[in-house]
Amino acid sequence: MMYSEKVLDHFSNPRNVGEIEDADGVGEIGNAKCGDIMKMYLKIDNGIITDAKFKTFGCGAAVATSSMATELIKGKSIDDALKLTNQAVVEALDGLPAVKIHCSVLAEQAVRSALSDYYTRQGIDPLPIVGEIHEPEE
């Protein structure tokens, strides 16, 4: 298994680990049976993601993609965060082994899941804005 230096860096020193007590949006994706769960917490102020934190149960790539995804959306607008693709996460990590690409998809979906929760809390139907959240297949 060849992980890039950047993946190993984000795995061994993950950025933004933890919870946000008064989060404006919380999303969770994955299941323990398959071995990957990501939980993402967002603090949103005037349409800007002012803070992002995560907790992840999973392999090195799952931790690294969660860490990178939070880095990529912090300080960004919701619109920008919704444009985050798994490919962008992969590129920011200098690549992932083919068998680990699904981890980057989980990270992308965790962000969308948290944003979806944010809209729901605002009383706004998230579906037209965020789209469907894709749970990994068992």
Q: Which parts of this chain interact with another protein (CB under 8 A)?
A: 8, 11-12, 14, 17-18, 28, 31-39, 54-60, 62-63, 99, 138
Q: Which is nearer to another protein, 26 or 48 (CB)?
A: 26
Catalytic residue (one of 6, 9, 26, 34): 34
| Least distance (Å) between residue 128 CB and another protein | 28
Q: Considering all CA atoms of the chain, what is the largest pairwise distance in Å, rounded to the nearest integer?
A: 45
The sign of the CA dihedral 102, 106, 107, 111 is positive
Helices and strands in the chain, H and E counts? 6, 3
Instruction: Report the alpha-carbon distance of residue 130 to residue 83 in Å, rounded.
Output: 10
Catalytic residue (one of 90, 103, 110, 133): 103
Q: Which is nearer to another protein, 39 or 78 (CB)?
A: 39
Contact between 38 and 28 (Cβ < 8 Å): yes
**59: annotated active-site residue:** no
Q: Which is nearer to another protein, 14 or 126 (CB)?
A: 14
Q: Which is nearer to another protein, 40 or 78 (CB)?
A: 40
**103: annotated active-site residue:** yes
| Least distance (Å) between residue 5 CB and another protein | 13
Instruction: Report the alpha-carbon distance of residue 60 to residue 115 in Å, rounded.
Output: 25
| Least distance (Å) between residue 44 CB and another protein | 20
Contact between 39 and 26 (Cβ < 8 Å): yes
Annotated catalytic residues are: 34, 103
